[in-house]
Amino acid sequence: MALPDRFKIEQADARWRSPEPVDYLYADIGTSSVPPKAAADTRAMCRNLRPKSAGYWGMEANFVSFLARNRCKPPVTRPQFRAWASILGVPIAAYANRAWLSRIPDIATQMVFGCSPGLNVSASG
């Protein structure tokens, strides 16, 4: 079965300047741990390729690190995500996705604090 002509997937060195903007960039530049330069490398690729939206391997861990550095308390909020996205400077694909935005606070809260803002856990004696 042939793929429809609606899209084309290319694997290329994103350090070259594309003559036309691309729709989506996913920078799979990680290894077993999040490289400290992943966000900066992705920003450089975005300058070259001018994607409508982008993501990179380790992006979620970068967000969690942002929360920890800023001593955010649970629950994680959408404004915290928006603040991180603004500082990151990458056109995050999920930023315009209402379903993802509605879930990221809960997911990040679970990753950082091991609990869910939707659950009210009280100590029992």
Where along the chain do its domains lie?
24-113
List pLDDT tens digits, range 74-100: 777 778 888 988 999 999 876 666 676
**Averaged pLDDT for residues 60-81:** 83
Which position has the token pair 């990040």? Answer: 108
DSSP readout, 66-121? Answer: HHHHTT--SSP-HHHHHHHHHHHTS-BGGGG-HHHHHHHHHHHHHHHHSS-TT---
Confidence band for 123, pLDDT divided at 50, 70 and 90 = very low
- Whether the predicted pLDDT of 10 surpasses 80: no
Angle ∠(65,26,113) on CA atoms, nearest 5: 25
Tell me: the pLDDT tens digits for 94-114? 666 667 666 766 776 676 666
Q: Please say if the pLDDT value at position 119 is more than 70.
A: no
